[in-house]
Amino acid sequence: MPLLKVENISAGYDGEPVIDALTFHVNRGEIVSLLGPSGCGKTTALRAVAGFEPVLTGQILLRDRPVSTPALTLPPEQRSIGMVFQDYALFPHLTVADNIAFGLHGKTIVDRRVQVEHLLDATGLANMGSRYPHELSGGQQQRVALARALAPRPALLLMDEPFSNLDIDLRERLSVEVRDLLKSEGISAILVTHDQHEAFAVSDKVGVMHHGTILQWDTPYSLYHEPNHRFVADFIGQGRFIDGVVRTPQTFDTELGLLSGNRPCSETIGSEVEILVRPDDIVPDHDGDIVATVRDKAFKGAEILYTLELPTGTRLLSLFPSHHDHHLGDTVRVRMAAEHLICFARGAHNRSTEPIL
């Protein structure tokens, strides 16, 4: 049975909906993310779940108890929900230990101390309880904010862009640590982020949002390999599209040649389609039959992301091992290494998933 049910809600400001017909469930012990570009409504959705924004339609149930309907908005403090904010929101005049203990009202001194010591240890802050926030790094401050939110043992934890103020290496490391901690504590959580790598690293399920609604709610693996909407395919994984014509359910004529996949396309034979090509689908090969010109490059440590231009003018992205160091204007040979091809009918937003026979 789901811990949280968000059922067909709309919410917004001044009576104007920012999210509309939004539906998703969070199971006990599950970590999910709302992923999308700025302005898509993900923070508004989180605020509605928290009780900071009323719903205009639909309902939100926590533990099968209505907490938000058009006629009811249960206050945040009565929802057993913890919050972790982008700016940490720590109390500067309190020590780390006192910040963590702030929400433990009604507990004995001994119980408070035991819980604080447990969370200090769990978040890697075991020797920092007596320090003040200004004496900590950004990553340490975020750990304190997380420990404070977890201290009262909330039914659900909400995290609004919690890692966005951290450098990329720390962000990646801390996101994995947070997932491990939430799983060990058995806490369900919703993460709001615009960063797909962050969402994928933390989440069991991800909802990709656009214009106030969820286009696809799925596992990170399925979002990457089985996008059911053009926006999802475009937003996830730096995909580019090339034109093609369906020759058989598993082969396509394209400017890259005849491409073959291992799954049937649902579009009819002879129909025009757009085929998703990701950077890891195109690999360097001295004997490759695809010739392209290097137009841009981005060094990423172990890999270099190249923008390659085909003779037709079409530009695609390709990941090369970083020892393949080409200059702008160089000619390179590559080949397609993709077996799993995703196709959309030309101009369509949604992908048909029923294979033709």
Map out the domains of the chain with their CATH numbers: 4-230 (3.40.50.300), 240-345 (2.40.50.140)
156-160 and 188-193 strand pairing: parallel
Report how far residue 30's alpha carbon sits from residue 7's, in angstroms, rounded to the nearest whole number.
18
**Residue type at position 264:** P
State the pLDDT at residue 355. 40
Helix (H, G, I), strand (E, B) or coil at 148: helix
Element (H, E) at 326: none
Higher pLDDT, 319 or 167: 319
Q: What rounded mean pLDDT belongs to the chain? A: 91
**Which of 171-176's residues contact partners 24+ apart within 8 Å by CB, and which partners?**
171/195, 171/198, 172/197, 172/198, 172/201, 174/139, 174/142, 174/143, 175/201, 175/202, 176/201, 176/202
State the pLDDT at residue 356. 38
State the pLDDT at residue 353. 54
pLDDT tens digits for range 53-98: 999 999 999 999 999 999 999 999 999 999 998 888 899 999 999 9
* pTM, rounded to two decimals: 0.88
